[in-house]
A and B are shown apart, each in its own frame.
Chain A
Amino acid sequence: MVEHLFVISIILFASGSLFALCFYGWQRLGNYISLILAAIASCFSIALSVAVLFNGSVIRFDFLIYHAIIKYNFLLDPLSSYFVLAISVIGFIASIYSLGYTRLYVNKRDTRFLGFTYNLFLLSMLLVVTANNALVFMIVWEFMTLISFFLVIFEHENPSNRKAGFVYIVMAHISSVFLTVAFFIMHTYAGSFSFDDFRHISAQIPEIYKNIVFFLVIVGFGIKAGIFPLHLWLPLAHPAAPSNVSMVMSGVMIKTAIYGFIRFYFEFLTPCPPWWGFIILTVGASSAILGILYALMEHDIKTLLAYSSVENIGIILMGIGLSMIFKSYNLMALSSLAMIAGLYHLINHAVFKCLLFGCAGNIYYSTHTKNIEELGGLIKRLQVTAPLFLVGALSISAIPPLNGFMSEWLIFQSILNGFSLPLALVKITTSICGAILALAGALAATCFIKAFGISFLALPRSEHAKRAKEVPVIMLVSMGFLASLCVFMGLFPAKIMMTINQVNTHLLGTNIISAITTYDWLQTKSVHTNFTELSPKSASVFGLILLAVTFGVLTILRPGFTKKIYETWTCGISPEPRFGYTATAFTKPFKVIFSNLYRPRREISATYAVPKYFVKSITYIGEITPIFEKYFYNPISGYVLNISNKVRWVHTGSIHVYLAYIFITLIFLIIFIK
């Protein structure tokens, strides 16, 4: 029964993509059908993943096409199903959201292509996390990359989108090279490409090759995950794609790389030395802090969200890295706790990032701009989008009682547990990573106060913002569902932890759920670690009681409380939008404090009227130096271009010369390879 669900959802995704192509004349109808099919397919895969997670069983699928060349092996174990769950929940909501969002494109550009690629994109992610064979994995991995490349350049008439697509495809292929080499090294020892064989050969691989594979995997999957400094493509590609696609890309596609990390480090290469986990932890911490620092300086709302994805991937990796460290010292219960924290943050990030990208899509839908400096006052115009965005902003800033707080709290608890590690240096660094996480959290709060405050509050700063209208209901409903998920996952952490515990029992062989949950006074499950306990539910209940008491007391004291509505006092002149703070101004203190990192550049030029006392116009240019691009990528790409220029004389353009090359190569191969 359960096996069929997998096949059904594959077929539904495939037919969704084909239906999109079929309806030539009625684009709108074809678009709806394909999106609805994607939503139904996602429902089936949700059912599939839930079934596997709670039965604790492992399901295999072997499709034998092209006998003996490639075995299409797929495996659904609890780890895969956890990712399938994340992908299909986000896929389901993004499909519903797209029903409204794609109205932007219907009859304006080819939505057939969008529906076609969108379905295949969801399908490819589903296959990536279930592939059980290195060859199959690389095929679907590459497929996912190509499909998402087409989605990134969907609005290809814009040169910046084409550039984003180019950077993405180049980076993604560098990633593929690293992964291919890693898989080939594994293959030499396993004798086959099957993941089943990879799982048993760890002991036979020499230490040096294990370390090489470790680094290959960091770079290979790190590019896809967008860790610093391999994040280059992420802030370019995510804003370029249509919002409904960025939701999926940022929400779940980059998490397939986390899946890769866990497969390699917890299954193929185990047991790993402690310094591996240590590297992952520090890479995570630096991604977290640098990601959010760059997000703070962004005024394009989607780029800002993309940088914040870099931050959150860093936080997830901190959880994974801690789990690896604990595991290598055989502290399995702690390893399990850290894994729960990491995977909890993973699903949280999927939910709130999808919500925020959706709301950014709503803003773009109604104002046609992504620059928050041109917005303002939207809370009066997009009256439903505003609270939804606020919920997302609160969650991502780890404000209780929403879900982001729960996972960061668990990561703090895992960090505190670092005291049981044997090495002083590791213990101290772990604590400092905790401090970095605290700083990143506070900066994230600032960043999202800026994103929400500048775009939704005060007066509209442009005509677009002034004329904004609320978006179609279907988009609001799907986002409302995500917002309630944010609240639910914050208030009922035990449910999510139980789900992740299923993954742990299979992956790490530990079952710590009874140790980390406890019954509180409401007789419901709350969280409990060896340091303390936490019950977000009771905190909210008491908060509401206190609110009611405060409100009641104030009303009894003075029943006739009235408010006078009057314009903001601006020293005697009537308020104008330009009096309000802008995003640039709001983040100025940070630009000064972190000027060593940002290296801000500022140019002010004024033109004067004939008497030099009257300024006619002032031009202001302020920008920060992207140091990674300037000092890391630009020299490399310059070097590559230089070499390419030097060797281009072999490309003569004459077909005879090329035939001669082929002939020489052939002879060469015959001589040297027997």
Chain B
Amino acid sequence: MASSIILPILQIVVIVGLSPLVKGFINKMEARLQCRRGASLFQPYYNLVKLLQKDAVVSETASWIFRATPYVTFVSILLIALLVPVLSSQVPLNFIGDIILIIYLFALGRFFLALSSLDTGSAFGGMGGSREMAISSMAEPAMMLSIFTVSLTVGSTNLSNITSTLLNYKSLNPSLFLAFTSLVIVIIAETGRIPVDNPFTHLELTMIHEGMILEFSGRYLALIEWASSMKLLLLLTILVNTFLPWGIATDLTFPGLIISFALYLVKIGFFAFAIVILESSFAKVRLFRIPNLLGTSFILSVLAIISFYVVS
């Protein structure tokens, strides 16, 4: 009983607390690869604190949609944090829903962000919203098919079951590799990293995600920034705990959780570093080249599902 109260709180705390650090880590490592010293590892926390202390400026054109969006986005991501196995493969609240619910909860946040991008009546917001929707729509089929592959391998769409089954999965399954590769491309597109979107850009015409949130300030911006770094961490967590679940705690003992947490940090760090390498070695591709990239991801996921059915 205690576990069903402690563990969800622990999950939220880890995701909420750790997500700015992941962002800071990526920024720091990228700076290092470019032979710069870079900002502090904790800079994203300072930014959030600063933003939370400020008042917000709201456009007089904007409506209640604009003011509701930060909360909707933040809370929908928090809810996802309850459903994803982070430290233990057993998620006490897994009866709430499965991975398909998670995908559609991401869609809920995106829906409101895209609406509020149109709300202020500026030209850049709509540009960001329109591009974000185009990219995420293109990513959706590949994402769904790779999730199908994993779910069918395990026989469940519930993330708890997926993690605990794959933990004891002995054979090497080619379809899982293909699904993994496809999902990596999708996650890069969904979280707006290079080569799909450049999170550091300050040129309005190249912005996608940043263009959508251009009009937000103060607390609103803090919530949205935090939500987007949580989204990155959550997607990495899903990737890590689905395909590399080794070492994750299966019962709720203190030492088990500590080991699990340490391994989790290592794995997330590894993937964050992979993103750093990727971002440092590629340039952002042109907007209308992105469908090709996502098409590749889709083909990989189709191959994954085909090989699943042919092998099994």
Contact = CB atoms under 8 A, between A and B. Distances in A.
A428 B104 CA distance: 23
The main secondary structure of chain A at its interface with chain B is helix
A542 B96 CA distance: 9
Interface of B: 52-53, 55-65, 67, 71, 74-76, 78-79, 82, 93, 95-98, 100-101, 104-105, 107-108, 110-111, 114-115, 118-123, 125-127, 129-131, 133-134, 136-138, 140-145, 148, 151-152, 155-158, 161, 215, 218-219, 223, 287-288, 291, 298, 301-302, 305-306, 309-310
Contacts of A377: 61
A178 B159 CA distance: 49
B192 to A, nearest CB: 15
17 contacts: A380-B63, A409-B100, A438-B143, A453-B119, A456-B63, A457-B119, A532-B156, A535-B96, A558-B52, A563-B56, A565-B59, A566-B59, A569-B122, A570-B123, A580-B122, A589-B134, A590-B134
A60 interface: no
A532 B105 contact: no
Q: Which 8 A-B pairs have the closest CB atoms?
A: A581-B126, A458-B121, A453-B118, A442-B137, A438-B144, A589-B134, A435-B141, A532-B98
B116 to A, nearest CB: 8
Contacts of B97: 400, 532-536, 539
A209 interface: no
A554 interface: yes
Interface of A: 377, 379-380, 386, 390, 394, 397-400, 405, 409, 412-413, 415-416, 419, 424, 427-428, 431-432, 434-439, 441-443, 445-446, 449, 452-454, 456-459, 520-521, 526, 530-536, 538-539, 542-543, 546-547, 550-551, 554, 557-558, 561-570, 575, 577, 579-581, 585-590, 592-593
A449 B129 CA distance: 9
Contacts of A561: 55-56, 218-219
A436 B288 CA distance: 21
A566 B57 CA distance: 7
A575 B122 contact: yes
B78 A550 contact: yes
Nearest to B83: A539
B302 A534 contact: no
The main secondary structure of chain B at its interface with chain A is helix
Nearest to A387: B64
A538 B52 contact: no
Contacts of A434: 144-145, 148
B57 A453 contact: no
Contacts of A551: 71
A210 B140 CA distance: 39
Nearest to A427: B309
Contacts of A557: 52
A554 B219 CA distance: 9
A360 to B, nearest CB: 18
B155 A543 contact: no
A461 to B, nearest CB: 10
B137 A431 contact: no
Given A405-B104, A539-B97, A588-B130, A431 B121 contact: no
B293 to A, nearest CB: 12
A432 to B, nearest CB: 7
Contacts of B105: 400
Given A435-B298, A438-B144, A550-B78, A568 B120 contact: yes
Contacts of B119: 453, 457-458
B309 A564 contact: no
A432 B127 contact: no
Contact of A581 (B127, B134, B306): B127
Given A526-B95, A563-B58, 14 more contacts: A399-B107, A400-B97, A405-B104, A428-B305, A432-B302, A435-B298, A438-B141, A441-B140, A442-B137, A453-B114, A453-B129, A457-B63, A458-B119, A587-B130
